[in-house]
Amino acid sequence: MITIIPAIDIIDGKCVRLSKGDYDTKKIYNNDPLDVAKRFEDAGIKRLHMVDLDGAREKRLINYRILEKIADKTRLDIDFGGGIQSDEDLYIAFSSGAKQITAGSIAVKNRELSLSWLQKYGQERIILGADAKDGKVAVSGWQENSDYDLIPFLKDYWKLGFKYTISTNVDKDGMLVGPDFDMYRQIKEQLPNIYLIASGGISKVSDIEKLSEMKIDAVIVGKAIYENKIKLEELKPFLC
């Protein structure tokens, strides 16, 4: 059964969503991310994907106090990303209550540091963030493209010991047009044992059902919930 992971993205301490990673498209959904997190928990959700969008843009951890508050006031298992660029950032994220962190831009820009985190904290706590735009891995809050092709990049890090990965087609994110099924199919065909977390474009429950049929391990759902395209009660069959 696929695991449902709602998303909370933070700008200026508020719960927001972007379209295609464009900060100019910011839409505020709630001034209190804790309120949103509690609503997810009350619906039976166990996991939460939280992104510090200020941190992703500024390349340093910024909204860790909100992480701390949600971790303290809920029982959600939080994976946290955005702006984690140093050992200090990582220490703050874990000390603030993150169960896992997502190593995205840093995996492209500083391979040695990423691998040191994997060795120190173990593969259960470090998620590889590998988001794609035009087939290339995107970094820095999706504001830049790298020269790395997505699947070879994933294969390389899988061989080095990374077990979990979150992958988003940037052009699908926040657009409510359905996920990039072909991209996830190709990843699973070439890396069948990777724990793959799909993200971006989810617009209806049938998208989740199809990903589940494809044996995708987990899915991050964001704007579809906030825009009431998917109601929390519709997710109950996946929460058993």
Asked about 180 being catalytic, the answer comes back as no
**How many other β-carbons are positioned within 10 Å of the β-carbon of residue 207?**
22
Among 52, 54, 79, 131, which one carries the catalytic annotation? 131
Q: Which two tokens stand for residue 170?
A: 């940037």
Residue with structure tokens 């940037």?
170
Task: Report DSSP letters for the chain, one per residue.
Answer: -PEEEEEEEEETTEEEEEETTEEEEEEEEES-HHHHHHHHHHTT--EEEEEEHHHHHHTS---HHHHHHHHHH---EEEEESS--SHHHHHHHHHTT-SEEEE-HHHHH-HHHHHHHHHHH-TTTEEEE-EEETTEEEETTTTEEEEEEHHHHHHHHHHTT--EEEEEBGGGTTS-S---HHHHHHHHHH-TTSEEEEES---SHHHHHHHHHTT--EEEE-HHHHTTSS-GGGGGGG--
Instruction: Kindly name the residue from 9, 79, 171, 180 that is annotated as catalytic.
Output: 9
Active site residue 131: yes
Q: What are the residue numbers of the active site?
A: 9, 131
